Amino acid sequence: MTAPPDDCLARNEWICGDYLSSRREILLDAVAQHLRITLLAVLVAVLLAVPLAVLARRWGWAAGPVLAVTTVLYTIPSLAMFSLLLPVYGLSSALVVAGLVLYSLTLLVRNVLAGLRAVPEETRQAARGMGYGPVRLLLTVELPLALPSSMAGLRIATVSAVSLATVGAIVGFGGLGNLIYAGMNTYFKAQVLTASVLCVVIAVAADLLLLGVQWLITPWTRAARR
């Protein structure tokens, strides 16, 4: 009778320390790609969402179309989204980034717009009475007061992007999703579990980091709770 192998990789166990030590470089590369794609997508989404929300706030008629378009984009399944963008970006990381940007817009635009709408009108009037022009009013009064709602949207969008980035594995640019996809095809248990756990760790860490940033940049919300 043949003795069972004493190597957890050979036994194909879910939890295997040998996998971490022998595939360290592969894991680090996958994590780096995952973070790069997620951060770039969220950054671009923020740069697009803020002007769109400001436009929707300034001109009420634009709010309906802006929210409708971003909502429709969010309802498109990820595989269909990547397929639609494929003729434009080809098989590249830009394809995945573009898809994540479009998905993030709905969450960000809605929350930034909600924050801008929540700014008291008397605050705006007081600022105008002090000589604030439209741009100064926006940058120094409206956007800062909209930060709590905006940061809430950013946290949700970031966590969603970490999760959706794994779908990029279908075009070879999914970060940890590449390892999950390959591991599922070969039933490599340790690889599937390790990559999945790392995705969860990144999502939780990103949410906690943004929560800390929100706590630091919105001191007036802490004072209001006392």
Quick one: three-class SS letters along the chain?
CCCCCCCCCCCCCCCCHHHHHHCHHHHHHHHHHHHHHHHHHHHHHHHHHHHHHHHHHHCHHHHHHHHHHHHHHHHCCHHHHHHHHHHHHCCCHHHHHHHHHHHHHHHHHHHHHHHHHCCCHHHHHHHHHCCCCHHHHHHHHHHHHCHHHHHHHHHHHHHHHHHHHHHHHHHCCCCHHHHHHHHHHHCCHHHHHHHHHHHHHHHHHHHHHHHHHHHHHCHHHHHHHC
Query: Binning pLDDT at 50, 70 and 90, where does residue 62 land?
Result: confident
Angle at 119 between CA 116 and CA 122, to 5 degrees: 140
Query: Binning pLDDT at 50, 70 and 90, where does residue 79 land?
Result: confident
C-alpha to C-alpha distance for 116 and 149, rounded to whole angstroms: 9
- Asked if the structure places residue 186 within a domain, the reply is no
- Asked if the structure places residue 187 within a domain, the reply is no
Please tell me the predicted confidence (pLDDT) of residue 100.
Answer: 93
- Asked if the structure places residue 185 within a domain, the reply is no
C-alpha to C-alpha distance for 134 and 118, rounded to whole angstroms: 17
Please tell me the predicted confidence (pLDDT) of residue 3.
Answer: 45
The whole domain housing 30 covers 22-179+196-225
Please tell me the predicted confidence (pLDDT) of residue 61.
Answer: 79
Q: What is the CATH number of the domain that holds 146?
A: 1.10.3720.10
Please tell me the predicted confidence (pLDDT) of residue 87.
Answer: 86
- How much is the mean pLDDT over the chain? 86
Q: Which two tokens stand for residue 147?
A: 């930060």
Query: Binning pLDDT at 50, 70 and 90, where does residue 225 land?
Result: low
Mean pLDDT of 193-203: 93
Q: Which two tokens stand for residue 137?
A: 């009013």
Residue 113 reports pLDDT greater than 70 = yes
Number of domains the chain contains: 1
pLDDT tens-digit profile of 120-174? 888 888 888 888 788 888 888 888 888 889 999 999 999 999 999 998 888 888 8
Burial of 101 (0-12, 13-18, 19+ CB in 10 A): buried
- Considering the entire predicted model, what is its pTM? 0.86
Query: Binning pLDDT at 50, 70 and 90, where does residue 1 land?
Result: very low
- Asked if the structure places residue 106 within a domain, the reply is yes
Say if residues 105 and 49 touch (Cβ distance below 8 Å).
Answer: yes
Task: Mark residue 90 as left, alpha or beta (left: phi above 0; alpha: psi -120 to 50; beta: remaining).
Answer: left
Residue 40 reports pLDDT greater than 50 = yes
Q: Which two tokens stand for residue 109?
A: 């635009």
- What's the Rg (C-alpha) of the chain? 22
Tracing tokens 């080809």 back to the chain, one arrives at 90
- Asked if the structure places residue 15 within a domain, the reply is no
pLDDT tens-digit profile of 22-33? 888 989 999 999
Dihedral sign, Cα of residue 138, residue 151, residue 48, residue 42: positive
- Asked if the structure places residue 95 within a domain, the reply is yes
- Asked if the structure places residue 6 within a domain, the reply is no
Mean pLDDT of 80-106: 88
Please tell me the predicted confidence (pLDDT) of residue 6.
Answer: 57
- Asked if the structure places residue 100 within a domain, the reply is yes
Please tell me the predicted confidence (pLDDT) of residue 155.
Answer: 94
